[in-house]
Amino acid sequence: MHAQIIPDTLTKLAQLGDNTLYEPSGDQPQMERLRLPYQSRSINECITNIMTPKGKKPILKTMMTTACERNCHYCPFRAGRSKTQRVTVSPDEMAGAFDTLQRANQVQGMFLSSGIIKGSVTTQDKILDTAEIIRNRYHYRGYLHLKIMPGIEFDQLYRLMQLADRVSVNLEGPTQVRLNALAPKKDFQRELLNMLQLAEEIRRTHPYEKLAGTVTQFVVGAVGDTDLELLSLSNRLYRQYGLTRAYYSGFSPVIQTPFENLPSTDPLREHRLYQASFLLRDYGWRVEDLSFMADGNLRTDIDPKRAWAERYLREAPIEIMTARRDQLLHIPGIGPVGADAILRARRLDKLTDLSHLRQLNIRAPEQAAPYILLDGHRPATQMVLF
């Protein structure tokens, strides 16, 4: 039975092409967008190498359907766009095709999204059914990243989190006003933010259960959203909703959409947002630590950590032998692992030279040099320009 269905399904999936190009899912999201879209109609177009917590993996990135009843202004799948080829795959077909690819060693995981047809709840059921078949009929235990449709039911969300390693709900904009401009049929609080809130509640009330982490994505730069808005919300999501990661997708215009004539967002803005987001998530920075320009955006010509150091540390360098961990994490070139290594090493001996930092696996201590003292002295080095 499946022998007849599966080749047809792979052909269908190949027709979908790299339709999730603008939906990053791994730990190096910008790398996922380096390919040119719609190069061919081969199944390879649906397979993307992503970085996951367990290393690099080729995953099937695809959709249950490219039809959608909503009309988000930036999206190639919006209702009424005649250039979009509408392809729909059933849960049985999707799960069977994934199983075939997985057994052939072509993929080691799946990212599954969907356009919305007959409402979010019905659409979510199709994703859930696919995941149930993959887990229960094909006994697949590897990586699944499943999309949360806007405003689904509590039980659906809970089951999704049991089946997946990662789930995502895209907030798209940082406020209701920005979202209205991007996606007029989406409700920021009720349909989107509430999903992240509920996911955290589910994790909190089921502490011993293995449940998926949550991620979200923003469309950056189409409707006047500022870095301050995006990073303030990201910070709140990291602190209060246990968000694993925020993705920032620079806007890129799609023909035959209301935004087709808007300019693309500078990729450097996306890059600076990721740098700042990591400072908030992994380095204990507060939003107030970041330097925003008058328009609410970060400078693109300098990384946010160096911008802070230039402002505060150039004239008042931090003493490495006595600095607290949070102070060390404000020094360019020193990350969480390096900071911990410094704290351990200085209990045993004095750190007096940049070579001592290098011995602690701090790869480029020259980056830190203009902003530190080593046992009371500025390090002996020439300043490196970046």
Rounded Cα–Cα distance for residues 264 and 250 (Å): 7
The two three-digit tokens of residue 328, written as one number = 């060390």
20-28, 70-78, 208-216, 279-287 -> range binding ligand SF4 (CB under 6 A): 70-78
Q: Which residues pair with 26 in a beta bridge?
A: none
- Of 2, 70, 236, 346, the residue at the interface with ligand SF4 (CB under 6 A) is 70
On the 0-12 / 13-18 / 19+ scale of CB atoms within 10 A, 346 is middle
Residue 367: closest CA among 306, 321, 326, 316: 306
75-83, 132-140, 206-214, 295-303 -> range binding ligand SF4 (CB under 6 A): 75-83
Interaction between residue 72 and ligand SF4 (CB under 6 A): yes
Q: Please say which residue, 32 or 99, places its beta carbon nearer to ligand SF4.
A: 32
Q: Please say which residue, 70 or 236, places its beta carbon nearer to ligand SF4.
A: 70
Q: Please say which residue, 253 or 284, places its beta carbon nearer to ligand SF4.
A: 253
Smallest distance, ligand SF4 to C-beta of residue 331, A: 40
Rounded Cα–Cα distance for residues 152 and 212 (Å): 16
The two three-digit tokens of residue 171, written as one number = 């907030």
Q: Please say which residue, 235 or 257, places its beta carbon nearer to ligand SF4.
A: 257
What is the DSSP-derived secondary structure letter of residue 172? B
Instruction: Tell me whether strands 47-52 and 55-63 are parallel, antiparallel or unpaired.
Output: antiparallel
Q: Please say which residue, 182 or 374, places its beta carbon nearer to ligand SF4.
A: 182
Question: b vs e for 218-232, b when ≥16 Cβ sit within 10 Å of the residue's Cβ?
Answer: bbbbbbebbbbbbbb
Residue 11 one-letter amino acid: T
Residue 135 one-letter amino acid: R
Rounded Cα–Cα distance for residues 51 and 321 (Å): 36
**Which backbone phi and psi does 376 adopt, to 5 degrees?**
90, -5
What is the DSSP-derived secondary structure letter of residue 221? S
**Which backbone phi and psi does 46 adopt, to 5 degrees?**
-90, 0
Smallest distance, ligand SF4 to C-beta of residue 296, A: 25
Residue 336: closest CA among 312, 370, 305: 305
Smallest distance, ligand SF4 to C-beta of residue 161, A: 20
- Of 13, 75, 202, 351, the residue at the interface with ligand SF4 (CB under 6 A) is 75
Number of residues that bind ligand SF4 (CB under 6 A): 9
Helix (H, G, I), strand (E, B) or coil at 80: coil
Residue written as token pair 């692992």: 337
* Binding to ligand SF4 in span 188-227, by CB under 6 A: none
Smallest distance, ligand SF4 to C-beta of residue 72, A: 3
Q: Please say which residue, 9 or 249, places its beta carbon nearer to ligand SF4.
A: 249
* Binding to ligand SF4 in span 94-133, by CB under 6 A: 115-116
72-80, 102-110, 277-285, 312-320 -> range binding ligand SF4 (CB under 6 A): 72-80
Rounded Cα–Cα distance for residues 274 and 333 (Å): 16
Q: Please say which residue, 77 or 247, places its beta carbon nearer to ligand SF4.
A: 77
**Which backbone phi and psi does 84 adopt, to 5 degrees?**
-85, 125
Binding mask 155-184 toward ligand SF4 (x if CB under 6 A, else -) reads ----------------------------x-
Q: Please say which residue, 115 or 333, places its beta carbon nearer to ligand SF4.
A: 115
Rounded Cα–Cα distance for residues 288 and 368 (Å): 22
- Of 77, 111, 143, 251, the residue at the interface with ligand SF4 (CB under 6 A) is 77
The two three-digit tokens of residue 288, written as one number = 């107030």
Q: Please say which residue, 108 or 120, places its beta carbon nearer to ligand SF4.
A: 120
Binding mask 11-50 toward ligand SF4 (x if CB under 6 A, else -) reads ----------------------------------------
* Binding to ligand SF4 in span 262-321, by CB under 6 A: none
Smallest distance, ligand SF4 to C-beta of residue 77, A: 4
In the complex, which residues of this chain contact ligand SF4 (CB under 6 A)?
A: 68, 70, 72, 75, 77-78, 115-116, 183
